[in-house]
Amino acid sequence: MGKPVLMDFFAEWCGPCHQQTPIIDELKAKMGDRVDIQKIDVGVDSEQTRQYAARYDIQFVPTLVIEKDGQLVRKLVGVQDLGTLENILKPLVEQ
């Protein structure tokens, strides 16, 4: 079993994204390398960004996508607090 992946879809111009960033940073500090955290700037037009946005139907930022072993676990739209993210991720790292 692989470790869970948290994808943080954000844009530099997005105010709520700037509120989410320190929460993601704190999550990384607490969970370390047990979770793979990826930041994806949807404000940058690239083929990879378009593919991710289409695959996960990203319409608003911030959006957090959590996967484990290539399977979607949760998609969260809007700013999420640390407790919510820990409650979702802790059981996934303990599997």
Question: Which residues are known catalytic residues?
Answer: 14, 17
- Token look-up 């993601």 returns 24
The secondary element (H helix, E strand) that includes residue 20 is helix 15-31
Tokens 């484990």 sit at which residue? 68
Copy the structure tokens of residue 64. Answer: 């957090």
